[in-house]
Amino acid sequence: MLLGDKKELAQALMDIGAVKFGRFRLKLHEKDPSAPLSPIYIDLCIIRSFPAHYKALTSVYLSLLNGLRFDYLADVPTAATFIVALLALETRKPMVSPRLDAKSHGLTNSVDGLCEPGKTAVLVDDLITRAESKLEAIQVLKDNGLEVRDIVVLIDREQGGAHALEERGYRCHAGYRLTELVSFYAENHMISREQEEQVLSYLRSTAR
C-alpha cells in the first residue's frame, strides 16, 4: 500500500501523463532488438514541467538517501539532472555529472563539477531497466577517483537491472517497483485489470 508522498507522487505521474500504455521500444532494444515491446512506458522527464509535484518527488528520493553515506550527488544525464539539482538544494551536498559523451573541446573534462578523489558519490537516476547506463556512469566517476556504493532510482522496472548492479557489489535503492505501481493504479481504477495483467505478463516474460 502506498502512503503519503509516495501515493501523491504515484497519482501525479498518472495525472500528468508520465505513465503511458501501448507498445514501446526501450533502450534495451538497442542491444536486443528482438525483445518484446513494452506495454508500459514511464516518461519521468515530463515531471520537470510540473513544479507543483517537486515536493513529493524530492521527498521520495530523500527517503531513499536517508542513511546513506556520500559526499557528492551524481546524476545519470540527462533524465536525472534536474532531480539531482533539486536534491542538492535540499541536502546541501555538491552535485557532479559524469559525461557519457566524449567532450572534444575546452578542458575535455569527463565530469562536470568539482570533485575530490577519494570521496564517495551516490548515483541518482529516474528509473532502472537494465544496468548498462548506470555502470557506464559509475565507471566515469571511478576513473575520476570517486567511490560509488549506492544507486538511487525512483522506479525499478524489475527487468534485471537492480540485480545486475548488486552482482557487481553495488546497492540499488528504488522508490517503487513497477509491479507495485501498476497494482496501485489498478486498485484505484486508474487502469484496467487487463492493462495490469499485460504489464505483469510482460515482466514475467522478460525476467532475468
**Mind listing the pLDDT tens digit for each residue in 115-169?**
999 999 999 999 999 999 999 999 999 999 999 999 999 999 999 999 999 999 9
7 CB-contact burial (10 Å; exposed 0-12 / middle 13-18 / buried 19+): middle
Q: What is the CATH number of the domain that holds 91?
A: 3.40.50.2020
The confidence score (pLDDT) of residue 108 equals: 52
Express each pLDDT in 183-194 by its tens digit. 999 999 999 999
Q: What predicted TM-score, i.e. pTM, was given to this entire model?
A: 0.92
Q: How far apart are CA 16 and CA 27, in angstroms?
A: 23
The confidence score (pLDDT) of residue 180 equals: 97
Mean pLDDT of the chain: 93
Number of domains in the chain: 1
Element (H, E) at 10: helix 4-15
The confidence score (pLDDT) of residue 35 equals: 82
Structural domain boundaries, residue 196: 4-205
Q: Sorting pLDDT into bands at 50, 70 and 90, what band is 26?
A: confident
The strand order across the sheet containing 147-156 reads 111-112, 95-98, 72-75, 120-128, 147-156, 171-177
Q: How far apart are CA 90 and CA 41, in angstroms?
A: 29
Residue 103 has pLDDT above 90, yes or no: no
What residues form DSSP beta bridges with 97? 112
The confidence score (pLDDT) of residue 206 equals: 84
Q: Sorting pLDDT into bands at 50, 70 and 90, what band is 107?
A: very low
Q: What percent of the chain has pLDDT over 70?
A: 96
The confidence score (pLDDT) of residue 106 equals: 38
- Supply the DSSP symbol for 170: -
Q: How far apart are CA 137 and CA 97, in angstroms?
A: 9
Q: Which amino acid is at 48?
A: R
The confidence score (pLDDT) of residue 105 equals: 40
Q: What percent of the chain has pLDDT over 90?
A: 85
